[in-house]
Amino acid sequence: MKPGLLHLFAVGLLLVAPWLAPAQPRLPRRLLAPADTVGLGRVLARPEFYHLQISLVRVRRDAQGLAHLARPVRYRVRPREYFYPASAVKLAAGVLALEKLERLQASTPGLSPDSPLRTDSAFAGQTRAVHDATAASGRPSLGHYLRKMLLVSDNDAYNRLYEFVGPQELSAGLRRLGLRHARLVHRLSVGDGVPGWRHTNPIRFFADTAETQLLLAQPAAAWRAPLPPARVRPASLHVGQAYVNAQGQQLAQPLDLSQKNVFSLSDLQQLLQAVVLPETVPARQRPHLTAASLARVREALSQLPPQSRSPYYDSLAYPSTYAKYLLGGGGEARLPPGVRVYNKIGQAYGFLIDNAYVVDAAHGVEFLLAAVLYVNADGVLNDDKYDYDTVGLPFLRELGRHVYEAEVRHQATRRTMN
């Protein structure tokens, strides 16, 4: 590794974890920052306890402006060690929903991401969606759901895209994109389980908000195939020492997440790379999207809530870095001037995830950084007593800051030498 590559993590990373796997390069001592026991050091001193995984990929541009990726620098990245991916899966749902819409557009003139849509119900637990007060038209649309889902991680918006694509097409799409340790098999935050996740709602797209001209009707559907394999260690699917059930009772046993969504950190990062830097991945693993659709996704990934006009977000409830954990700490700090972050976060069951692409054009800084950690000191799930604010978010903020500042220094040194 070149000097100045990473001013990362903390001295404790090598002192307490010298056993990195052969495929995961060691980080030289001279590149590490002094230990910060409040931000980085506390987590790095106990990486196994915090289920810590980090993946960094530097991006460099040649004289023609083409992107070239350095060898990934990975710490404890283990595809078979399960973590609950929470809202980090929403990028995949958005990409696959736009792919499906574009396929349907070929046979449905007038259909677009902004076409008003109506979601009805046809199975136990399903809900209807006819109005959307956050949309200028007052009506839901796939494009508006996508923005809400990526801007502020709206769960209902994700659920509507899940219902549009369906678990069968989601599964096929993940395989085609080469995401081997990924599956999407349920809605979020509505207690979706067997058999509900197998059933999707009837949906209709219209040419107008008054619903006088039907463009497309998609009937209710059910997927009968077996649950896709998780491809993780079975033991890792049982999390914690206890959990609180739906009746408010605390049970002294791990929570079984074997029926839940799955996404490895490497697959999350690969998908983001395919969206923001498609030229750097094999053609067969790129999203089948037009330039306009990719631009729509990228804008929603990078725009800050106060910058959005539709939907509108109050800056007090949704500060600029509300959905930026790396560098921003989930609203704790502003991004450095000139920095743009394309990312998708996740937070649930004590797990915190951020999967980001960071760009500072003025300083020539560009990198992909993804991290996950588990912050649940009492080991009880569903008790709403997680260490997000005291441990997890400060760690991710400092991790992003250390990497970014190291890259700025590295680029300054390169310019001086040239």
pLDDT (tens digit per residue) in 115-135: 999 999 999 999 999 999 999
Give yes or no: residues 153 and 227 share one domain.
yes
Last residue of a domain, one of 182, 202, 232: 232
Q: Are 174 and 268 in contact (CB under 8 A)?
A: no
The answer to whether position 131 is within a domain reads yes
The answer to whether position 46 is within a domain reads yes
Last residue of a domain, one of 232, 267, 282: 232
Give yes or no: residues 73 and 92 share one domain.
no
The answer to whether position 260 is within a domain reads no
Q: What is the pLDDT of residues 371-417, one digit of tens each?
A: 999 999 999 999 999 999 999 999 999 999 999 999 999 898 887 87
For residue 24, the model assigns a pLDDT of 46
Residue 262: name the closest of 92, 383, 382, 379 by CA. Answer: 92
The answer to whether position 290 is within a domain reads no
Last residue of a domain, one of 185, 204, 232: 232
Q: How many residues does the chain have?
A: 418
Q: What is the pLDDT of residues 260-290, one digit of tens each?
A: 999 999 999 999 999 999 999 999 999 999 9
Give yes or no: residues 20 and 105 share one domain.
no
Q: What is the pLDDT of residues 11-58, one digit of tens each?
A: 333 333 332 333 444 443 333 454 555 678 899 999 999 999 999 999
Q: What is the pLDDT of residues 77-112, one digit of tens each?
A: 999 999 999 999 999 999 999 999 999 999 999 999
Give yes or no: residues 118 and 191 share one domain.
yes
For residue 414, the model assigns a pLDDT of 80
Arithmetic mean of pLDDT, 336-340: 97
Give yes or no: residues 216 and 113 share one domain.
yes
The answer to whether position 297 is within a domain reads no
The answer to whether position 149 is within a domain reads yes
Give yes or no: residues 71 and 90 share one domain.
no
Arithmetic mean of pLDDT, 141-163: 98
The answer to whether position 289 is within a domain reads no
Q: What is the pLDDT of residues 177-229, one digit of tens each?
A: 999 999 999 999 999 998 999 999 999 999 999 999 999 999 999 999 999 99
Give yes or no: residues 115 and 226 share one domain.
yes
Give yes or no: residues 192 and 228 share one domain.
yes
For residue 3, the model assigns a pLDDT of 34
Tell me the C-alpha to C-alpha distance, in Å, between residue 121 and each of 127, 145, 252, 349: 5, 18, 37, 29
For residue 37, the model assigns a pLDDT of 57
Residue 82: name the closest of 243, 258, 205 by CA. Answer: 258
Residue 4 pLDDT grade (very low, low, confident, very high; cuts 50, 70, 90): very low
- Residue 385's domain comprises 12-77+312-417
What's the per-residue H, E or C state across the chain?
A: CCCCCCCECCCHHHHHCCCCCCCCCCCCHHHECCCCCCCCHHHHCCCCCCCCEEEEEEEEECCCCCEEECCCEEECCCCCCCCCCHHHHHHHHHHHHHHHHHHHHCCCCCCCCCCEEEECCCCCCCCCECCCCCCCCCCCEHHHHHHHHHHCCCHHHHHHHHHHHCHHHHHHHHHHCCCCCEECCCCCCCCCCCCHHHEECCEEEECCCCCCCEEEEECCEECCCCCCCCCCCHHHHEECCEEECCCCCEECCCEECCCCCEECHHHHHHHHHHHHCHHHCCHHHCCCCCHHHHHHHHHHHHCCHHHCCCCCCCCCCCCCCCCCCCCCCCCCCCCCCCCEEEEEEEEECCEEEEEEEEEEHHHCEEEEEEEEEECCCCCEECCCCCCHHHHHHHHHHHHHHHHHHHHHHHHHHHHHHC
Give yes or no: residues 72 and 91 share one domain.
no
Q: Which residue has the higher pLDDT, 25 or 294?
A: 294
Give yes or no: residues 36 and 135 share one domain.
no
Give yes or no: residues 228 and 209 share one domain.
yes
The answer to whether position 351 is within a domain reads yes
For residue 415, the model assigns a pLDDT of 78
pLDDT for residue 303 is more than 80: yes
- Cα 344 from Cα 359, distance rounded (Å): 15
Q: How many domains does the chain have?
A: 2
- Cα 304 from Cα 323, distance rounded (Å): 8
Give yes or no: residues 55 and 90 share one domain.
no
